[in-house]
Amino acid sequence: MERRTESRHSLTCDVDASLPSVRDREIAISYTVRGITMNVSAGGACILGELALERFSVLPCTFHFPEVPAPVPILMQVRWVEPVPSQDGVFRIGLSFLT
């Protein structure tokens, strides 16, 4: 059953998602999950990422669009996550744009 209301468009670009800092003793450790877009729509994007992000978490992301000289920061929410069966440690991640 198709639940999307917006058309999806193929787009390949790098995406970085910043995870909240975690304190390990006296050191704050922050993580960046790197991914690549599969497609985008007016409502969000589907990316391939290296980590299963927590569903419904809100993350600052940075998109590196082709032909755009500066990275574009966008606040997004994780809507769904599923492993890619043919690629160990790779996940399809559905992100929605937050405004």
Spell out the domain ranges in the chain: 9-97
pLDDT tens, residue by residue, 22-40? 666 666 677 888 999 999 9
- The whole-chain average pLDDT of the chain stands at 88
pLDDT in the model for residue 9 = 86
Top pLDDT among 14 and 5 is at 14
Sorted by sequence, the CB contacts under 8 Å of residue 58 that are 6+ apart come out as 75, 76, 77, 78, 98
Domain 9-97 has CATH 3.40.190.170: no
Q: pTM for this structure?
A: 0.83
Strand 72-83 with 58-64, pairing = antiparallel
- For 58, half-sphere exposure in the C-beta direction (CA atoms, 13 angstrom radius) is 4
pLDDT tens, residue by residue, 56-69? 999 999 999 989 99
Residues 28, 20 contacting (CB under 8 angstroms): no
